[in-house]
Structure 1
Amino acid sequence: MPDQTNDRKLEHIRAIENDPLTDRSKQYFDAIRLTHRALPEIALGEVNTSCSFLGYDLSFPLLISSMTGGDHKLVKTINRNLAMAAQKTGVAMAVGSQRVLFTNPASRESFELREFAPDVPLIGNLGAVQFNCGMTAEQAQFAVDCLNADALYLHLNPLQEAVQPEGDTDFSDLGEKISRLAAQLSVPVMLKEVGSGLSPADIKLGLAAGITYFDVAGCGGTSWSRIESHRRRDNVDLGIVFQDWGIPTPMALKMANNYLDRATIVASGGLRDGIDMVKSVILGASLCGMAAPLLKPAMQSADAVVEEIEKIKTEFRTAMFLLGAPDVATLFNNRSFLLESAS
């Protein structure tokens, strides 16, 4: 009998390849203007883009966001190339959902990445809703151990599950289950959306459950609603109707600002270059996640991923230089870099 969880991974990749509109390309970050400095009073070569996350020193605040995993040659190639590139460029990496580990043990190889990325943060990934479907803390720890992960993403994807033909849609009382899991795991739990954004109410629930890491993962980039629409065999256009549903990432960052004294925020969802990353850090993000710009390079080689990451890093450093920001700490949550519109 086919393994639906495993096969779904490849179907997702093919949908992204064949339908360019799965990337909504909303460019919500374009509305944010920054204060250019004609006299930045620093040298470009002295701009320090480094930061730290989960106890590691990173070359700049980039996270290779969750993409895939499973028992397919392409999937294994993608994850290995991403891990090698993360190590070479000194950035963090998160894997796609590890639920497939429990339906297809052969998929484990796609998540055994620590040997390729020994010196950077690796983040595991499971769907939070699965803890309403029988998943246990022991299984979560197994996923962490398989990756030798430094943290575990619990992804929150009610829209994707609602559109998905075989979706799990019982999200009731998850806060309590997340709290219990966080107390039992050997690594921190991080809550993330998958492209519709975290609201302040979601962050408050997470904080009450003992979570301090949140990936707002807003809308504007890849639409999992549209991706799942390709997998439906009925005439219902639910995934298309909701393809742009959610909180745009810049707005989600602004809404999370009141929690920066208690929470570490990751920005993802529609970030496409180093300028978007700089804007995210200014809005309070400690790390910036990208997936779509790195997927095609990852299907080619680790070197292709490295080239793309280095391009993004150059953009990030250049934007810092043009703002007169000597280091990432100067950027963080510093609204003075935002250009106020004339009134």
Structure 2
Amino acid sequence: MNLEQAPTVPAKEEKPQGFIDNIRAKVQGIVEETRLPTREALGYDSTVGVYGGKINYDDQECMVFDMRGFVSKVDRFGDAILRTYDEHTVKEPLELLRRHPKLFFRFLAPGTKRYRGTPEEIAENIERLGLDEEYGLHEWGIEIKDQDIYKAGTVLQDIYRSDLIGDPKLEQIDRFQALGQAAGYVREIHESHGAIGEVLPSDIIWRETEGSSLDKPILNIPDIIYNQEKNTAEVDKKATDLLDFTMSIGLEELRRSGDWNEVQKAVRTIIDHYSDKDIVAMLKSFVLRGRLTMLGDEEAVGLSKAATMLRPLHAMHNKARLGFKKAVTENLRELISAECADYLSAK
């Protein structure tokens, strides 16, 4: 990829374009019920939204990810539907219909690979990932046993958005150093406990921060779970976690710096610190096959006209959770593929 010729990021946020984008923007505004309560302890408002529930306190002052209520139920229902095509791409749907009609109808309704779980399912994920000292099942949803995680924890997303927050303490943290620690932590979780379900910049929190030094990383509540009925291979799940993380960080870095060389540095930081040849090879394969589903890369992925027409609908959920811009997705895909290839060639 020629980094000098890659498009820069517009200085202003893109306004919603068309019917689907307008729906996405409105729904996202509704389902983000609260944000992490960092103001009192840290002196700034976190950018991390809480989806699928809201932060509440019971009579014993337990902090709870409260999953009751109409909005939370609608969010979980809609989440399962919208995630169906997050990593699901058929390049020639009409050709598939002609040659394999049964497979075509499976493509139309394949079932979601992962989804926001019920409180009971999330609690199982918490225990599996070794997080039962930090989080646990509550009659309202999930209890945050260590409240300082949400009140005083430093989140990777906030480090990347320190230019928007304007807090001096955040701004002195080296985001690339934090990113390397985060990638290494994800690798540790994968090796010790298995795939997570979803890994975004909002999912990595440090419980201790001293100056520019970060310590004791912990996952946010692992509320996205892999569908057990899909019988997905573990290497596929881990690569999906890494795909989420790499794509989302690439977009965060591009928003932050507008510099493709910095994006390249960020992507390589993740790959080098995660450092698992098999998972990186699968990551490269996913990227080349059109995962995650995004707009703007239709030609690079090799989609037919029919698949291109369906792309805005299929990419709607990734647009909401990643905030990608059409002008940059093809270049980001090429960059990640190239960095994976470079890493693998050195092994």
Do the two structures share a fold, i.e. TM-score over 0.5?
A: no
Q: Whose helix proportion is higher, 1 or 2?
A: 2
TM-score, with length taken from structure 2: 0.29
